[in-house]
């Protein structure tokens, strides 16, 4: 695949897609230890036909972004939280955890090596980083791999969802993950399993689908690739508490932002039949940051939250605060921003 050149890119029309940049990071685990990571110009992985990941799915990944500020600095947003989550995901999938300090070293090195591909401030673009790890040992029986490859690649992306515009969602008849299953791990199978529900939702005219808890199908869990939040009519920020949803870095951040804004945030079970107390609702995650939920259709009944055409004032305030911190325009009171040394 031909390497992408800066001059090939239109910063204002990037889309959300892969570009083969000059450098990635790679490290192998074998003989009981990590072998030492380094930058590589090779963007292709070679796997044995019996590799663990191809048959038994030992894979975990992360997603985070690097942001260009007004003064030209490049910042990461809470990469330590992605590092911790990847360790937890690896443990759940019986994989060798990638050390957190190595994770931070790797993502910083990839940003620095590809710094010319960090979109300019004001373009709406970011440098998306995808750390991932796969089991590589050739196996036939169902056993965990004893060799792994950890990689980090980067690609410049535009906004995952253009503009803060409300969109319609529907409640899925499928489960995203099992109770006490792998829902809290960021692993490929969870996303593969959500492709059919998401496609069916889109064919029916919705932006995505909302999954319910897998035990009782009574409580809100999450969307196919984002967590759910609501703002009650009396101004409280609420978000589901569940054992089967991914612990979102964006969610954790918005809980703190909501507290800073006096929204008395709480995590609790949210009954899908009793969402009429919500004045606003949204999907939150790294890719989209916040996508307002204009309406939610369940059992043929459509519930409109703030509006199907306009974003609610609290959702707007949350979005502006969080993206302001990420882009360096709002004071970082929480110590979330990590500058990358570009020299």
Residues that are catalytic: 186
Q: Which residues contact 217 (CB under 8 A, 6 or more apart)?
A: none
The residue behind tokens 């519930």 is 303
Length, in residues, of the chain:
343
What count of other Cβ atoms lies within 10 Å of the Cβ of residue 185?
Answer: 23
Residues forming beta bridges with residue 232, ordered by sequence position = 278
CB contact at 8 A, 98 and 123: no
Listed residue (83, 104, 110, 89) closest to 26, CA to CA: 110
Say how far apart CA 40 and CA 14 lie, in whole Å.
24
CB contact at 8 A, 123 and 11: yes
Element (H, E) at 167: strand 167-171
Say how far apart CA 104 and CA 62 lie, in whole Å.
12
Say how far apart CA 299 and CA 276 lie, in whole Å.
15
Say how far apart CA 256 and CA 284 lie, in whole Å.
14
Eight-state DSSP code of residue 300: T
Say how far apart CA 17 and CA 33 lie, in whole Å.
34
Q: At residue 23, what are phi and psi to the nearest 5 degrees?
A: -130, 140
Say how far apart CA 118 and CA 125 lie, in whole Å.
8
Say how far apart CA 293 and CA 220 lie, in whole Å.
14
Say how far apart CA 295 and CA 288 lie, in whole Å.
18
Say how far apart CA 131 and CA 147 lie, in whole Å.
17
């Amino acid at each position: 695949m031909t390497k992408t050149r800066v001059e090939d890119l239109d910063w204002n029309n990037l889309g959300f897609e892969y570009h083969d940049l000059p450098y990635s990071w790679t490290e192998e685990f074998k003989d009981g230890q990590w072998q030492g990571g380094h930058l590589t110009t090779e963007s292709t992985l070679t796997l044995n036909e019996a590799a663990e990941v191809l048959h038994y799915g030992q894979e975990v990944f992360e997603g985070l972004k690097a942001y260009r500020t007004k003064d030209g600095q490049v910042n990461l947003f809470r990469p330590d939280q992605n590092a911790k989550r990847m360790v937890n995901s690896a443990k759940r999938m019986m994989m060798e955890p990638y050390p957190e300090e190595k994770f931070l070293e790797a993502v910083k090195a990839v940003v620095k090596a590809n710094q010319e591909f960090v979109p300019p401030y004001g373009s709406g673009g970011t440098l998306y980083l995808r750390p991932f790890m796969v089991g590589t040992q050739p196996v036939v029986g169902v056993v965990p791999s004893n060799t792994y490859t950890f990689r980090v690649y980067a690609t410049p992306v535009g906004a995952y969802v253009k503009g803060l515009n409300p969109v319609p969602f529907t409640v899925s008849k499928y489960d995203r993950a099992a109770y006490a299953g792998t829902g809290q791990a960021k692993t490929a199978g969870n996303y593969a399993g959500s492709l059919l529900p998401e496609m069916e939702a889109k064919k029916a005219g919705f932006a995505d689908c909302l999954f319910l808890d897998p035990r009782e199908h009574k409580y809100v869990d999450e969307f196919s690739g984002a967590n759910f939040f609501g703002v009650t009519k009396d101004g409280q920020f609420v978000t589901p508490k569940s054992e089967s949803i991914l612990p979102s870095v964006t969610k954790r951040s918005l809980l703190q932002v909501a507290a800073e804004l006096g929204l008395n945030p709480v995590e609790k079970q949210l009954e899908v039949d009793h969402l009429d107390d919500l004045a606003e609702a949204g999907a939150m995650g790294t890719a989209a940051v916040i996508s307002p939920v204009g309406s939610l259709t369940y059992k043929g009944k459509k519930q409109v939250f703030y509006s199907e055409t306009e974003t609610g004032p609290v959702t707007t305030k949350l979005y502006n605060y969080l993206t302001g911190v990420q882009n360096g325009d709002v004071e970082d009171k929480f110590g979330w921003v990590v500058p990358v040394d570009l020299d």
